[in-house]
Amino acid sequence: MTSADGRPSDQLVRFSVLADTTERLDRFLADQLQLSRTQAARIVADKAVRVAGSVARASRTLKRGEEVEVRLPTVEPLRHLVPADIPLTIVYEDEHLLVIDKPAGLVVHPAPGHWDDTLINALVARGTDLAEGGGEGRPGLVHRLDRDTSGLMVVAKNDLSHRRLAHAIAARRVKRIYAALAWGHLDGSPLIIDAAIARHPQDRKRMYVSDHGRPSRTDASVAARFDVCELLRLELHSGRTHQIRVHLEHIGHPVVGDPVYAGGGSRRITGPQRSQADRIERATPRQALHAAQLSFRHPVTSAALSFRAEWPEDLGNALVVAAGSERVAPASALSYLQFFNEDG
Contact 107, 127 (CB under 8 A): no
Contact 224, 337 (CB under 8 A): yes
The pLDDT score that the predictor gives to residue 6 is 43
The string of pLDDT tens digits covering residues 178-234 is: 999 999 999 999 999 999 999 888 887 899 999 989 999 999 999 999 999 999 999
User: Tell me, what CATH number does 63's domain have?
Assistant: 3.10.290.10
Distance CA 25, CA 212 (A): 15
Do residues 298 and 243 share a domain? yes
Confidence of residue 173 (pLDDT cuts 50, 70, 90): very high
Domain span holding position 60:
11-72
Write down which residue in 128, 145, 170 finishes a domain. 170
Indicate the number of domains in the chain: 3
Do residues 339 and 272 share a domain? yes
pLDDT tops 70 at residue 246: yes
Residue 166 has a CB neighbour count (10 Å cut-off) of: 26
Do residues 119 and 230 share a domain? no
Residues with active-site annotation: 146
The pLDDT score that the predictor gives to residue 13 is 85
Among 229, 196, 171, CA closest to 13: 171
DSSP per-residue string spanning 10-62:
-EEEEEE--SSEEEEHHHHHHHHTT--HHHHHHHHHTT-EEETTEE--TT-EE
pLDDT tops 50 at residue 5: no
